[in-house]
């Protein structure tokens, strides 16, 4: 599937939605990988540490020649890893009381690649051929693929300021597709048939047969059959895998599988947080409103009460004033009457005195 144009894919999805295939079955989805995809079987009991595979790789991929020639086997005395100039290296593992065992390392071409799961521009892809390829043209250079790779394979051209890129084995996918070669360079140059290139299903059968035919010679395990979800490279060995630098604590869960849990939560966050937060905001605002309303009501009530009281006070005062006034008038009237009566009385007395 060409993924370069994501939006184009989205458009096509509308058409394909009606054409559900088996692989699309929803719910309990399970993927078996590309049918007929190819890989390589490495047999550590056959490897003699001649470094011919390194030469083959170097030539097919036009890499720079190393400082020490490939024929210099003292290089094997120090542990090495993949480098920008070496997509594959062979390491020597000394055994107590026995001949050393050699192990080739390169990209394992995982069935479910962690690098692809980690890449935010989808520069890595598992090809139907079995190769995990890298597209330099979109690479931003974040190096998250190197963090994600459980085998610590990808390298980076740190010293290039303008066009730095990730480097790793592509199982000679480009060369094979271009028709230049039919078998990966390393496999082609192995003189001991320690490497077999073919369909992964076939390789598993070959590996099982070898182990079954020589149960004393081999450890009863095919490394890469299930490790990190399975790899296109498969290893069989006469000594425990951890003794030849292959980690046995990687588990059987693939990178995409590890990621899928966290990824599925992502979609729920923007869907559910706004509902919750809008709810909280709504409640806060409503509480505020109710509080404000209650406050306003309380104030209004207080004002009314005060006013009523003021009114009644006023009324009472008026009443009192009127009463007072009436009383005063009455009193005044009474006083006047009294005075008049008094005056009349006095007049009578005078008259009486005058008349006497």
Partner 1 sequence: MTTETVSKKSLLTPFNVITGLILVMGAALTVWRFGWGIGAVTNLDNNNPWGLWIGFDLLCGVVLAAGGFVTSSAVYLFGMKKHHAAVRPAILTAFLGYLFVVIALQYDLGRPWRLPYPFVVQSGTTSMLFEVGLCVALYLTVLFLEFSPAALEWLGLKRLRNLIHKLTIALTIFGVVLSTLHQSSLGALYIIAPAKLHPLWYSTYLPTFFFISAIAAGLSMVMLEGWLTHKPLHDKMSEEYLAQHDDLYFGFAKGASFVLMGYFFIKVIGIAVDNEWNLLGTGWGQWFLFELLGFVLLPSVLYAIGTREKNLKLIRWTSLLTVLGIILNRLNVSVIAFNWHLPSEMRYVPSWQEIGVTVFVCTMLVVTFKFIATRMPIFYDHPEYKDEH
Partner 2 sequence: MEHAFYTLQDFLLYTKGWAYILMGASLVVFVAYWKFLFSRDKD
Interaction site with partner 2 (CB under 8 A): 1, 3, 6, 9-10, 12-13, 15-16, 19, 21-24, 29, 31-35, 111-113, 116-117, 122, 126, 128, 254-257, 259-260, 263, 266-267, 270-271, 274-275, 278, 289
Tell the smallest beta-carbon distance from residue 77 to partner 1 (Å): 16
Give the nearer residue to partner 2 in terms of CB position, either 33 or 141.
33
Per-position DSSP letters for 197-211, written without gaps between them: EEEHHHHHHHHHHHH
Tell the smallest beta-carbon distance from residue 313 to partner 1 (Å): 37
Tell the smallest beta-carbon distance from residue 282 to partner 1 (Å): 10
Instruction: Give the binding-site size for partner 1 (rule: CB under 8 A).
Output: 63
Give the nearer residue to partner 2 in terms of CB position, either 123 or 169.
123
Helix ranges restricted to H, the chain:
6-16, 52-60, 114-118, 144-148, 173-177, 185-188, 200-213, 255-266, 268-355
Q: Which does 93 bind (CB under 5 to 8 A by kind): partner 2, partner 1, none?
A: none
Q: Which does 164 bind (CB under 5 to 8 A by kind): partner 2, partner 1, none?
A: partner 1
Beta bridge partners of 231: 110
Buried b or exposed e, range 114-138, using 16+ CB within 10 angstroms: bbbbbbeeebbbbbebbbbbbbeee
**Residue 314 sits in the site that holds partner 1 (CB under 8 A):** no
Please, which of residues 24-83 interact with partner 1 by CB under 8 A?
Answer: 81-83
From the CB of residue 86, how many other CB atoms can be counted at a distance below 10 Å?
21
Buried b or exposed e, range 305-339, using 16+ CB within 10 angstroms: eeeeeeeeeeeeeeeeeeeeeeeeeeeeeeeeeee
Name the percent of the chain in helix, strand, coil, to the closest 5.
Answer: 50, 15, 40
x/- letters, 1..30, toward partner 1 (CB under 8 A): --xx-x------------------------
CA–CA gap between residue 38 and residue 183 (Å, rounded): 10
Q: Which does 66 bind (CB under 5 to 8 A by kind): partner 2, partner 1, none?
A: none
* Residue 125 φ then ψ, to 5°: -150, 140
Give the nearer residue to partner 1 in terms of CB position, either 175 or 259.
259
Give the nearer residue to partner 2 in terms of CB position, either 19 or 162.
19
200 to 169, 183, 204, 253, 319: CA distances (angstroms)? 18, 14, 6, 19, 112
Tell the smallest beta-carbon distance from residue 184 to partner 2 (Å): 21
Candidates 19-27, 29-37, 48-56, 260-268 — which segment interacts with partner 1 by CB under 8 A?
260-268
Tell the smallest beta-carbon distance from residue 170 to partner 1 (Å): 17
Q: Which does 13 bind (CB under 5 to 8 A by kind): partner 2, partner 1, none?
A: partner 2
CA–CA gap between residue 88 and residue 246 (Å, rounded): 15
Q: Which does 22 bind (CB under 5 to 8 A by kind): partner 2, partner 1, none?
A: partner 2
User: What is the 3-state secondary structure of 248-282?
Assistant: CCCCCCCHHHHHHHHHHHHCHHHHHHHHHHHHHHH
309 to 203, 210, 295, 316: CA distances (angstroms)? 102, 108, 21, 10
**Residue 259 sits in the site that holds partner 1 (CB under 8 A):** yes
8 A C-beta contact, residue 130 and residue 200: yes
- Residues interacting with partner 1, by CB under 8 A? 3-4, 6, 81-83, 114, 116-123, 138-144, 146-148, 150, 152, 154-161, 163-165, 247, 249-251, 253, 255-256, 258-259, 261-263, 265-266, 269-270, 273-274, 277-278, 280-281, 284, 287-288
């Amino acid at each position: 599937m060409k993924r370069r144009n994501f939006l184009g894919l989205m458009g096509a999805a509308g058409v394909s939605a009606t054409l559900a295939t088996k692989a699309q079955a929803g719910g309990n989805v399970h993927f078996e990988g590309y049918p007929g995809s190819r890989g390589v079987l490495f047999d550590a009991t056959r490897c003699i540490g001649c470094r011919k595979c390194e030469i083959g790789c170097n030539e097919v991929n036009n890499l720079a020649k190393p400082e020490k020639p490939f024929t210099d086997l003292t290089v094997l005395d120090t542990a090495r890893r993949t480098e920008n100039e070496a997509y594959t290296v062979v390491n020597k593992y000394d055994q107590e009381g026995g001949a050393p065992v050699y192990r080739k390392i390169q990209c394992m071409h995982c069935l479910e690649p962690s690098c692809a799961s980690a890449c935010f521009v989808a520069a890595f892809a598992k090809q139907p051929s079995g190769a995990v390829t890298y597209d330099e043209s979109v690479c931003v250079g974040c190096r998250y693929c190197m963090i994600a790779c459980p085998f610590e394979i990808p390298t980076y051209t740190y010293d290039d300021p303008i066009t730095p890129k990730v480097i790793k084995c592509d199982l000679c996918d480009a060369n094979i597709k271009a028709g230049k070669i039919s078998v990966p360079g390393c496999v082609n140059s192995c003189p001991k048939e320690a490497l077999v290139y073919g369909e992964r299903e076939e390789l598993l059968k070959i590996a099982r047969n070898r182990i079954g035919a020589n149960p004393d010679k081999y450890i009863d395990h095919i490394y890469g059959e299930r490790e990190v979800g399975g790899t296109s490279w498969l290893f069989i060995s006469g000594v425990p895998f951890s003794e030849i630098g292959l980690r046995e604590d990687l588990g059987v869960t693939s990178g995409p599988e590890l990621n899928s849990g966290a990824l599925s939560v992502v979609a729920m966050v923007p869907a559910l947080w706004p509902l919750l937060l809008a709810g909280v905001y709504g409640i806060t605002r409503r509480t505020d409103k109710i509080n404000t309303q209650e406050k306003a009501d309380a104030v209004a009530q207080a004002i009314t009460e005060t006013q009523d009281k003021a009114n009644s006070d006023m009324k009472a005062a008026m009443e009192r004033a009127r009463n007072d006034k009436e009383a005063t008038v009455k009193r005044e009237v009474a006083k006047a009457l009294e005075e008049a009566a008094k005056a009349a009385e006095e007049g009578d007395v005078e008259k009486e005195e005058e008349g006497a």
